[in-house]
Structure 1
Amino acid sequence: MTDNTLPVLAGVQPPVRGSTYPAAIIDGEARFPEGAPARALKSPLDGAPLGSQLLADPALAAEAVERAQAAFMAWRTVPAPRRGELVRRIGEAVRQNKRELARIITLEAGKIPAEAEGEVQEWIDICEFAVGLSRQLHGLTIASERPDHRMMEQWLPLGPVGVITAFNFPVAVWAWNAMLAFVCGDSVIWKPSEKTPLCALAVQTLVGQAIASMDEAPAGLSQLVVGLADVGEAIAADTRVPLVSATGSVRMGKRVAATVGARLGRSLLELGGNNAMIVTPTARLDLALRAIVFAAAGTAGQRCTTLRRLIVHESVLPELLPKLVKAYESLPVGDPRVPGTLVGPLIDAASFEAMQLALDDAKIQGGRIVCGGRRIADNVPAGGFYVQPAIVEVPGNLKVVCHETFAPILYVMTYRELDEAIALNNGVPQGLSSAIFTERMQEAERFMAAAGSDCGIANVNIGTSGAEIGGAFGGEKETGGGRESGSDSWKAYMRRTTNTINYGDALPLAQGIRFDV
C-alpha cells in the first residue's frame, strides 16, 4: 500500500477531500479550514506521497478545548461502569480492525508488521484494563478522631485532558492516556505528531463510531487537532485543560512543563530514555544476546525504551562482542512489507543526519565504531532512510553517550565491579528503563534496591523494552517523572477530595479545639 488512501475501518474511510486530510476532527466533524497551511505527507518506506495534511492553528485548538469542556460536563455524571462500556466498544472495534490499523502504522511510521500489530494490541490490552478499572475506581475510609464522624476520600473526574504524542508510537501512547481518561470521566484533546497524522485520523474514526453508538457519550468526548508546536503550546496554556500528558523529546517536555506549571496545572511527562543493560559474569549470554538485539535494533532504534548503552563485565566482552557483531551483520534490514524483515527505516532524513552526527562525535570523543552505521542502498526502496544498526565501543559515558540519539546506535562499555556498573547506568540525565542479566540473586536485588538503578523501570534477565500494560510506565530525571498505563496511573486523570460526615448531635472540633458560643 503506497498510495494516499487509508483502509476502510469498520465500514468507514477516515475523512479526506481528494488527497487532503483535515486539520481537525471536532465533535465528530472533519474540519478543512480555508487557507490553512498544508504539509506534504510521505511514507518513510519509500518516500511515496501520501497526500496533503492541513495544519490547525491555536484558534482551532481553542475551539476543540471548548467543545471538550462541554463534553466533560456531561460525561462526568455518567456512572463509571457505563463509561467502561464505551471503552469496551472501542476495544471491540479495534479488534475487528487490527490488521488495517497495523498497515497504516507500517505505512506512516515504518514499523515491521509484527511490531505494528503489537502496537495495536497494546490499545486492545489497555481497553481491557480500563474496562475492569471502571468498576474499581476506589477511595478510602479513614478513621476520624471525632466521635460520630466518618472521614473518606473520593476520586472524581478531573476535566479535559490534553494528550501530545510522538511519531514512534502513534497509536498506543494516545490509547494509554485516552482509555484511562474516558473511564475516569474525562474528555480528551489529542495533538498527534505531525509526522503520523494518518494514524491519528484512523484512530479517531473508530473512536467516533463507538461514541456515536452510545447515547450517554457526548460527541465532543474525543477531539483531534493536527498541528505544529504552536498548537501544542496553545493546549498546554489553556486553563480549561487541567492535565496535559506529553510524550516526546526532553526539549519539548520542558516547554510543556513550564507552560502548564505557570498556570499551576498538571503535566504528565514521558520524555527521553537513554537506557542501559548490565551484563554480569554469570549472565546467560544466549538470553542476553537476544534481548540486546531486539532492544537495541528493534523499531530501528526509535523507541523511548531502546537499549542505547551496554555495560559489560570486562571478562565477558571478549565472548559477547563477536556474537553481537555477528547477529547485527545478519539482521534483515529493509522494507517492512517484505516478509522476514526485522528492521525498517528511520522516520526521515533528519533522523539519519542526527545518527551520522552522533557517530562522528563518538569517534572524535574516543569511541570506536565496531560495525554498522551506514545507509543501505541495495535491495531497499530508494526513497527510504534504511541504516545498518551500529555498535560503538566507548570508554564510558562520553558526552555524546549522555545525549539520546533516536536511532539504532548501541554504545558498549566495560566495568569491573557492580557498583561501577550501577554508577554508569545512573550516570546520564535520563532515567526511563534499565536491565541487568545475572544469575546471582544478590546482584539482581542490589540493582533493584534503593542504591541501585535510578530508572522508572528496572528489569532482571529481560531487555529494556517491551513493557506490559499492567505496570505503570515512565521514568525519572529528564524522562519527566510521569506514569502512564497500568497500576494506579489512573489517579493522574482524577481529582481527589476528602470528605468528613458528621452523623451525631454535637459539633466537636479537630485537635481538641474548643470554640463555644
Structure 2
Amino acid sequence: MNLKELSSLKLSESNLGSSTGSNWFGSGSKIDSYSPTDDKLIGSVLSTTREEYEKVIQEAERAKAIWRDIPAPKRGEIVRQLGNKLRAEKETLGKLVSYEMGKSYQEGLGEVQEMIDICDFAVGLSRQLYGLTMHSERPGHRMYEQYHPLGIVGIITAFNFPVAVWSWNAALALVCGDVIVWKPSEKTPLCAIACQNIIAEILKENNLPEGISSLVIGDAEVGKWIAEDERIPLVSATGSTRMGKQVAATVAARLGRSLLELGGNNAIIVTPSADLKMTVIGAVFGAVGTAGQRCTSTRRLIIHESIYDKVKESLVEAYKQIKIGDPLDSKNHMGPLIDKAAVQMYLDALKKIKEQGGNILLEGKVLEGEGYESGCYVTPVIAEVENHYDIVQQETFAPILYLIKYSGDVNNAIALQNDVKQGLSSAIMTTNLREAELFLSHNGSDCGIANVNIGTSGAEIGGAFGGEKETGGGRESGSDAWKVYMRRQTNTINYTTNLPLAQGIQFNL
C-alpha cells in the first residue's frame, strides 16, 4: 500500500509538512511512519514546533468564541456531516488504520464504524444537553442548573486505536461547544492527518474557523505542552498508566481537569456452569484481537479447578487454528505488533514468566521468513501462572494469555480478579444467575466494565467507557460522559421584591 491508494484521504508527500490549510502545522523534526506489516515507509511527517503549537492554541482561542455561540443542535449538524464523511471513507480509512497500526482489516473497519457510531450518538445528544430544575427553600425563587462549554479540550491518544479514541472525545466535545486540539501517537501520524483532513474539509464547507479542530504532532514533549497549558481546561489522555500519572500530576498542579483512560489487566472468570464454546470464542478474540494491544484485551483467564483441564485443552486447540500474517488479508486473524520495541517487551515478558515459575503451554516466538520481514509478527502465548506473579500484575501489550486456577466458590475467583492495580474491563462466563448477579454487585467486579457471558473487549459506544484504580477513573463515549466536557453552573432567580436569605439567616439593615 502507498499514499496514492489513499488519495481520497488527501495524504501526499506534499502536505505532510508545514501548514497544510487543514489547521495542523509541522516544520520540526521528521517522523517516519513505517508499517509493521511489511516494514515499508508509508510517509514522513514533520513534527510541530513550539512556535507552531502557540499558533494552534491562539487559533483555537479565537475559534472557541465563535463555536460556543452556535446553538448545540447546529453544532450537532457539523458532527452529523463528519459521520457521513466517515461513512464514505470507511474502507479507505479502515485500510490505513490496518496498515499503519497493524490490526486486522476487519478491526480497522470496526474502528471506523465506532467513529460513525459516536457521531450518531453525539448528534442526538446535541438536543439533550439537559440540566435540572429544583425547588428553592425561599419563596418566589427558582433554581436550576445548566452546562456550558469548557473552551479548549486537549486530546492525547495512543497508537492502538489511532482514530476511534479521538472521535469519542471529538464528537462529544464539539457538540458540547468545545474546540479540540489533538496530539496523536507519533507511531500513527498518518491516521491522524487523514482524520484532520476530513474534519477540516467539513469546517471549510460550512464557513467555520479551522481552529475548531486542530492537530499537533510530535513525541511526549508535545503532550507535555498540552498538559502544562493553562488555556486548556480539560486534557483527555489515553495510554499507559505511567504516562497517565505524569499527565494527571501536571494538569492537577494547575488545577485543570484530566480524563484518563489508562492500563488494563482484564480477566474472564470461568465458572463450572460456563458455556465452553462461548468461553473459548470470547477468550481467544479478547487475547489475540489487535495482537493483544487493546486496553481491554483479555490478559487473565480465571478458571474453576473442576473444568480447568478441559478449558485449557480447548484453548490450546483453538490457538492452533489462529492464522498470523498481513492484516489486510481477511484470512488472517492476527497481524503484527506495532514495532520492534513492542516485540522486545513481549520477549522480556516470556522470560519473566519462566523466571517467576510459570509454565508456558504454547511457546512464543518471533516469526521469520516470507511475509514476516518486518520482524514484528509474533505467536500468541498461553501460560499457566499464579495471579501474584509480578509479570501477571503488569499490563503487557502483547498476545499473552495467563491461565489461573481457582477453587471453592465464585467469591474466590472475584478476589483474584480484583487483586491487580488496574480496573478497566472484566467478564464472567456462567449460566448461574446468582453468580452473575454477585459479579455485578458492589461485592463483585471492581472494574468500570463488567460483562456476563461476553468477553472483555468490544465495548459499544452507548455505554460509558473507562475504569477504576490505575485505569484512571475516566469515562468516555456514551451515557452521561458528555458532562466532563462542560462546566456545571447552578442558577437561582428571585422574582419577588424581597431578599430572603438561605438557611433562614436574618441580616437586617
TM-score, length-normalised on structure 2?
A: 0.98
Query: Which residue, 118, 122, 125 being the options, matches 1:133?
Result: 125
Match of 2:454 in 1: 462
Q: Tell me if the contact between 2:104 and 2:330 (Cα under 8 Å) persists in the aligned partners.
A: no
Counterpart of 1:406, as a letter, is F
Return the alpha-carbon distance in structure 1 between the equivalents of residues 266 and 255 of structure 2: 31
Return the alpha-carbon distance in structure 1 between the equivalents of residues 209 and 5 of structure 2: 26
* Superimposed CA distance per residue, residues 318-375 of structure 1 (whole angstroms, 9 cap, x where no aligned partner): 1111110011111011111223111000000000100110110011101011004111
Q: Quick check: 1:362 aligned with 2:353? A: yes
Q: Tell me if the contact between 1:285 and 1:320 (Cα under 8 Å) persists in the aligned partners.
A: yes
Counterpart of 1:125, as a letter, is D
Match of 1:28 in 2: 22
Return the alpha-carbon distance in structure 2 between the equivalents of residues 147 and 460 of structure 1: 50
Q: Quick check: 1:64 aligned with 2:61? A: no
Q: Tell me if the contact between 1:62 and 1:234 (Cα under 8 Å) persists in the aligned partners.
A: no
Q: What are the equivalent positions in structure 2 for 1:112-127 lying under 5 Å apart?
A: 112-127=104-119
Counterpart of 1:342, as a letter, is H
Q: Quick check: 1:191 aligned with 2:178? A: no
Q: What are the equivalent positions in structure 2 for 1:48-447 lying under 5 Å apart?
A: 48-215=40-207, 217-417=208-408, 418-447=410-439
Offset of 1:378 from its aligned partner?
A: 4.3
Q: Quick check: 1:511 aligned with 2:503? A: yes
* Superimposed CA distance per residue, residues 364-410 of structure 1 (whole angstroms, 9 cap, x where no aligned partner): 10101100411122452312411110001012231100010000000
Q: Quick check: 1:46 aligned with 2:45? A: no
Q: Tell me if the contact between 2:362 and 2:382 (Cα under 8 Å) persists in the aligned partners.
A: yes
Count of residue pairs the alignment pairs up:
508
Return the alpha-carbon distance in structure 2 between the equivalents of residues 431 and 145 of structure 1: 41
Counterpart of 1:21, as a letter, is L
Q: CA RMSD in A?
A: 1.3
Match of 2:6 in 1: 7
Counterpart of 1:427, as a letter, is D
Structure 1 residues 411, 448: CA separation in 2 closer, same or farther (over 3 Å shift)? same
Q: Secondary structure at the match of 1:124?
A: helix
Return the alpha-carbon distance in structure 2 between the equivalents of residues 474 and 157 of structure 1: 22
Q: Secondary structure at the match of 1:400?
A: helix
Q: Tell me if the contact between 2:352 and 2:391 (Cα under 8 Å) persists in the aligned partners.
A: yes
Counterpart of 1:72, as a letter, is K
TM-score, length-normalised on structure 1?
A: 0.96
Query: Which residue, 461, 467, 491 being the options, matches 2:483?
Result: 491
Return the alpha-carbon distance in structure 1 between the equivalents of residues 187 and 83 of structure 2: 25
Offset of 1:30 from its aligned partner?
A: 5.0
Q: Secondary structure at the match of 2:392?
A: coil
Q: Tell me if the contact between 1:279 and 1:313 (Cα under 8 Å) persists in the aligned partners.
A: yes
Q: Tell me if the contact between 1:86 and 1:210 (Cα under 8 Å) persists in the aligned partners.
A: yes
Q: Tell me if the contact between 2:368 and 2:375 (Cα under 8 Å) persists in the aligned partners.
A: no
Return the alpha-carbon distance in structure 2 between the equivalents of residues 145 and 322 of structure 1: 67
Counterpart of 1:328, as a letter, is Y
Structure 1 residues 235, 328: CA separation in 2 closer, same or farther (over 3 Å shift)? same
Return the alpha-carbon distance in structure 2 between the equivalents of residues 271 and 29 of structure 1: 28
Q: Secondary structure at the match of 2:230?
A: coil
Structure 1 residues 414, 197: CA separation in 2 closer, same or farther (over 3 Å shift)? same
Offset of 1:504 from its aligned partner?
A: 1.2
Q: Tell me if the contact between 1:68 and 1:220 (Cα under 8 Å) persists in the aligned partners.
A: yes
Offset of 1:451 from its aligned partner?
A: 1.2
Return the alpha-carbon distance in structure 2 between the equivalents of residues 45 and 23 of structure 1: 28
User: What stretches of structure 1 of length at least 5 have no aligned partner?
Assistant: none
Return the alpha-carbon distance in structure 2 between the equivalents of residues 98 and 342 of structure 1: 20
Counterpart of 1:392, as a letter, is A
Q: Tell me if the contact between 1:391 and 1:411 (Cα under 8 Å) persists in the aligned partners.
A: yes
Return the alpha-carbon distance in structure 2 between the equivalents of residues 309 and 135 of structure 1: 41
Q: Tell me if the contact between 1:24 and 1:56 (Cα under 8 Å) persists in the aligned partners.
A: no
* Superimposed CA distance per residue, residues 418-471 of structure 1 (whole angstroms, 9 cap, x where no aligned partner): 222111101111000000001111111111111111100000000000000000
Return the alpha-carbon distance in structure 2 between the equivalents of residues 15 and 260 of structure 1: 36
* Superimposed CA distance per residue, residues 205-224 of structure 1 (whole angstroms, 9 cap, x where no aligned partner): 11011111213x32210000
* Superimposed CA distance per residue, residues 261-286 of structure 1 (whole angstroms, 9 cap, x where no aligned partner): 00000000000000001000000001
Return the alpha-carbon distance in structure 1 between the equivalents of residues 24 and 248 of structure 2: 30
Larger displacement relative to structure 2 (371-380 or 73-82): 371-380
Q: Tell me if the contact between 2:196 and 2:215 (Cα under 8 Å) persists in the aligned partners.
A: yes
Return the alpha-carbon distance in structure 1 between the equivalents of residues 153 and 302 of structure 2: 39
Q: Secondary structure at the match of 2:211?
A: helix
User: What stretches of structure 2 of length at least 5 have no aligned partner?
Assistant: none
Larger displacement relative to structure 2 (375-384 or 46-55): 375-384
Offset of 1:16 from its aligned partner?
A: 3.3
Q: Tell me if the contact between 1:56 and 1:227 (Cα under 8 Å) persists in the aligned partners.
A: yes
Match of 1:16 in 2: 13
